[in-house]
Amino acid sequence: MSTTYTSYPACFFKDDNEKCAYTVIFPNLREGTCGETLDEAFAMAQNLLAGYIEGDAD
């Protein structure tokens, strides 16, 4: 079985918001998320993308 990798552009923004210090937007998907730390924002972005691909995103 071969593995296929797909990439989706994501924009990471530093924000002054207390709850979400980093905002992540997937422009091609018109979806976004955020996190208190850059690592958390990255993990949230991966989770959002996985849900989108699986068809769980609204």
CA distance 22 to 11: 10
- Tell me the pLDDT tens digit for each residue of 17-27: 777 899 999 99
pLDDT tens figures, 4-47:
777 789 999 998 877 789 999 999 888 899 999 999 999 999 99
Distance from C-alpha of 58 to C-alpha of 29, rounded to nearest angstrom: 11
- When pLDDT is cut at 50, 70 and 90, the band that residue 56 belongs to is low
pTM of the shown model: 0.77
**Going edge to edge, which strands form the sheet with 22-26?**
11-14, 22-26, 31-35
**Residue 58 scores a pLDDT above 80:** no
